[in-house]
Structure formats: C-alpha cells, structure tokens
Amino acid sequence: MTLHLEYFGLRVRELERSLKFYTELLGLTEVKRGTQYEIGGGIWVLLKDEKSNQHLELNWYPLDSPFNVEYLPGEGLDHIGFVVDNVVEKFEELVAKGAEPTMIDPIKTKGWLAYLKDPDGNWIEIFQRTPPSMAQD
C-alpha cells in the first residue's frame, strides 16, 4: 500500500496575514482552499512552490474550535500530510502498529481522511486524493 509525504500543515493565527507573507514575500501560489468545520476544524489553504513542487498548508481555526489552542511561536506545526491508496485500511494498519488515533477517524470523514498521532503527539493526516464516494461513481 502506497504512502508518501505530500505536505506540511502550519497553524496560523491570522490567515490573511499569513497568506500575504507566504504568497507575496516567499512567492508561493495558492492552489486550493477549503473548510473542515464539520469535524471541528476551520479554514485550510494549500500553497505550492512552483520551482520545487513542494506544498505548505496553512490552517486557521475559529475560537470555538478544539484545535484553537494557545499559540507558541515555533510550535505551530499543525500536521504532516501523507497520501494513501485507502484511508480505512492504512488507518487500521497504523493503529494496529501503535499509532494513536485522534477524534478524526475515517468514519467521521466518510473514509477519505483521518488523523493519527506520532509518538510525540504530532498529528499525521492520511488522505486520498479522490474521496471514496467519488472513486466508486
């Protein structure tokens, strides 16, 4: 089963300020944007460096989000994202091998993404490029 690093997610306090910094100052390009309010999240924006093809995801959480915790500079890593072929299978495999599940499991996302914790508590996202419901159509 395939698993590869796709991007890093960085938690930000002011989304527009951070977008301006990463796009205007560092030259990254916005390629996608969305929300995850249904699982307690907020707004995410995926940026790309056109030269290296690397990605950075900026994550902003509203005040009532369980993920809006005290912000300490240097501790803003939100999560690391890995693409997988099948989220449910990879999630079960990783949990069986000792990864700690979080409150966002494949059941809550209809099988297209989930989060686990590494041994130090860092969040790891596993996701499919195409949600399972679309892949079956």
Contacts 24+ apart (CB under 8 A), 23-26: 23/47
Which pair of structure tokens corresponds to residue 22? 């990463």
How far apart CA 131 and CA 79 sit, in angstroms, is 20
Query: What pLDDT was estimated at residue 120?
Result: 64
Give all domains of the chain, ordered by start, each with its CATH number. 3-135 (3.10.180.10)
What are the tens digits of pLDDT across the range 40-67? 889 999 999 898 888 999 999 999 998 8
The answer to whether the CB of 123 falls within 8 A of the CB of 102 is: yes
Q: What is the rounded average pLDDT for all residues in the chain?
A: 86
Q: How confident is the model at residue 81 (pLDDT cuts 50, 70, 90)?
A: confident
